[in-house]
Structure 1
Amino acid sequence: MNNESRVLCARKIGEALRHPGVPFAIRGARKIDANGVLDSAWLVSDGSAVTAVGTEPHMLDDALQEAGVSADHVLDAQGAVMTPGYVDIHAHGAWGSSFDDGPDGIAMARAGHMVHGTTRQVLSLITNPLDVLCRNLRTVRTVMKARPDVLGSHLEGPFLSPLHKGAHDPACLLDPTPDVVERLLDAADGTLRQITLAPELPHGLSAIRQFAEAGVVPAVGHCDADYAMAVRAFNAGARLLTHMFNAMKGLGHRDPGPIPAAVEDRRVNLEMINDGFHVHNPMVRMGWNFAPHRTVFVTDAMAATDCPDGRYKLGGLDVAVHDGHARLVSNGAIAGSTLLLEHAVARAVLELGVAPELAVEAATLTPARALRLDMPNRVTGRPIGLLAEGYAADVLLLDPDSWRVCHVWCQGVRIR
């Protein structure tokens, strides 16, 4: 798809999401979600929510009539895999644009993920000067009013350890003093979903408490925290571990670091970038076995996602992408990924042998639960993450052999 086609696609998706969906139904699918696998399944939606799911053919007609589904809006899946829409809580961009690039950049990057099945996304904002971060938070807040697919923002920085800063500008790193935290909270005005920070910073633990009290989910990451500090962070209110294994102390037999602290605390969910590059397959398998129902597939995707190799930007830093791997031009540090959740789920099932319902859970219900969106809430209204009655009609149909996304609905709106 060339850039002109992408711009047109982004506009069409943005326009479609401004209108309510049409009642629809899917039959003859292999339903897979965190509740398990159902063959010969059907699903009915009133154009906003899932109103009925089942396998008994004689019950489908009544469900269609009750939801007002016309015959020309019943799709025969012919054995395709049907899953909930994917939920990415940590990504920076796609299709040549970043979520820091204003409304047009957000629309373009969201389209790049939406067409591959990510129906809901938290927009991760890279470390920048404080004024720029506040402006970007306000932009996300405004965009959310017209886009149900945008869940809010994630600040990855500026409260990071200089020792594990990754692809973040060291000149912009700060200590999370109460006044700085308050400025960010005011700018977001209730739309900041999560923040990654290093708890060992002088005001790290107090910031975790401050963010948690404001309804934000703090995440431990880009840190030099040891095991004891990580335990303190989780007891202070942190509930996520940002991209496990990356930008933190590793697993040492006498210096265990933050990973075991997260694994042992059942309140904590653990992000993982399942691309085989950020975390090699043996470590993916080991990490998965640590906490299969608490592992969240994330992409950490940057602007080059679903684009050719070449030169790109991550914040104000230059990035070179070669063989799909993004690194800073200045020092070769890994600079996000070009991963899509579509590919993360597919490789979990097809390459790593993860049970399909567990792989789907890691990209749907677990991220929704991590941000408390698996129940009625003020962000999405209806819960997300399952194909079940009362949940938002975020639905995907996948090729059963390749697990490639073929059809997408977001809140009942047909996207492709």
Structure 2
Amino acid sequence: MIIYSERVCLPDGIRPAYLIEENGRIKAVAGKEAGLKADVDYGNQRIIPGIIDTHNHGAAGYRFDDANEEELKQLLKAQAAHGVTAILPTTTIVSQFPILAKLAEETLDGARIAGIHSEGPWGARVGEKGINTGYPPVDLDHAKKMIEEAHGKLVLVDIAPEVPGALEAIDYFVSQDVTVAAYHTNANYAEANRGIDHGITVATHLGNVMTGLHHRDIGTMGACILRDEVDCELICDGLHVCLPMIQLIMKMKDHDRIMLVSDNGAFLGAPVGHYKGGKKNENSDRAVLEVTPEGFVLSQTGRLTGSSMPVLYGIGNLVEKLHMPLEEVVRMSSANPARKYNLKNKGELAVDKDLDLVVIDEDYNVVATYVEGRKVFDRAVEKSPFNESFLQEYKID
């Protein structure tokens, strides 16, 4: 198969190019002067490398926490409809690890599972006020169970570095070749650095639910920015981290150490309106949740509880509002996570890489998505799937 566009985002810049695919890989890249006959010609629409979302809890009314096998397939299809070609399903529910590991070995009609991300369970705070809601104590037996149930697919575990037993847990996961991230933490600068010294190399959604920058103690956020060995997840929807702070981060942190993530949940793709928060939230300000026109998920008190906007929306923010070059931004959504998690065949539109790509329009919406040479979403003939039973059960208005 040969795909052509006037604007292909290649490692050396954006230019007209033919992508020549064979057996799911890019066999060759040719310039416009080659004059080849394309099987698919996308004209002036932009082609970017497939997005690798390493922090994602769900989509389209489905959650990685509790979806069954068929629902997971629909979830992964929905991810592809939002430009995600590879994903680290994010959950702490160990009973879900085996089915996620199984699907990681399968070729599906959607995003490729590239490993499992366990966001916790050993944190120290919820939200921006440092509130501790009773996280479980660190348990190395549970850590070992996580490894066993994931069947070699656990690639990232998040831990608050200051909690009792955290350093021992970090040491254990590092010994098992599992990447460790700092998350949901009240750690000061010194405590964060101790965690990094023990092997933390990722900051979970930098700036969110962690000690922030202050002129007397720059906290976990400052430590993760300063330490060159730490790669930083960053949500760029404009609310989780405001645009001026994103600008500041971009000036301080090597762009090769920034990974764009969504932290999406079931509300990715959900219609605007109010929703029931579910049984576990009945007695909290999350008893009713609102999906705003901007795509934010808010509690009854206006507290930010998530986003229904994909990584692609953040890419658009960086390009259109912060005036960053698209070819530089997509490194942070594709090449950087591929490097971090050793996805050697992914991350760039280059020879010998998987043909993972997204065709986007001028408004940063997905036109088509290809995973390993297969077209898994085409806006011209299908809509992004959504779990109608979720809407029936939870949507209020």
Question: What TM-score do you get using the length of structure 2 for normalisation?
Answer: 0.85
Which residue matches 2:89? 123
Q: Are 1:74 and 2:43 an aligned pair?
A: no
User: CA offsets per residue over residues 198-233 of structure 1, 9 Å max, x none?
Assistant: 011111111112112212111101001111121121
Distance in 1, matches of 2:347 and 2:278, equals 30
Which residue matches 2:77? 111
For 2:268, what is the secondary structure of its paired residue?
coil
8 Å Cα contact 2:58-2:64 kept in structure 1: yes
Alignment of 1:9-408 (within 5 A): 24-33=1-10, 35-55=11-31, 57-58=33-34, 61=36, 74-100=39-65, 101-125=67-91, 127=92, 133-147=93-107, 149-162=112-125, 170=133, 173-291=135-253, 292-308=255-271, 309-311=273-275, 316-317=280-281, 318=287, 320-323=289-292, 324-328=295-299, 333-373=303-343, 375=344, 383-399=345-361, 401-408=362-369
Task: Tell me the percent identity.
Answer: 25
8 Å Cα contact 2:160-2:184 kept in structure 1: yes
Shift of 1:327: 3.4
Answer with 38-47 or 297-306: which moved more.
38-47
Distance in 2, matches of 1:166 and 1:319, equals 21
For 1:240, what is the secondary structure of its paired residue?
strand
- Tell me the amino acid that sits aligned with residue 88 of structure 2: V
For 1:219, what is the secondary structure of its paired residue?
strand
Distance in 1, matches of 2:148 and 2:128, equals 25
- Tell me the amino acid that sits aligned with residue 249 of structure 1: T
Question: What TM-score do you get using the length of structure 1 for normalisation?
Answer: 0.82
Distance in 2, matches of 1:138 and 1:314, equals 26
Which residue matches 1:16? none
Distance in 2, matches of 1:162 and 1:227, equals 16
For 1:239, what is the secondary structure of its paired residue?
strand
Gap change, CA 1:118 and 1:181, over 3 Å in 2? same
User: CA offsets per residue over residues 5-58 of structure 1, 9 Å max, x none?
Assistant: xxxxxxxxxxxxxxxxxxx1112331214x231322111110411111131533
Distance in 1, matches of 2:325 and 2:279, equals 37
Query: For the aligned residues, what is the CA RMSD?
Result: 2.4
8 Å Cα contact 1:346-1:404 kept in structure 2: no
Shift of 1:299: 0.4
Distance in 1, matches of 2:131 and 2:218, equals 25
Structure 1 unaligned segments of length 5 or more: list them. Answer: 1-23, 62-70, 128-132, 376-382
- Tell me the amino acid that sits aligned with residue 7 of structure 2: R
Distance in 1, matches of 2:191 and 2:278, equals 30
Which residue matches 1:18? none
- Tell me the amino acid that sits aligned with residue 218 of structure 2: P
Distance in 2, matches of 1:194 and 1:315, equals 29
Which residue matches 1:65? none
8 Å Cα contact 2:338-2:346 kept in structure 1: yes
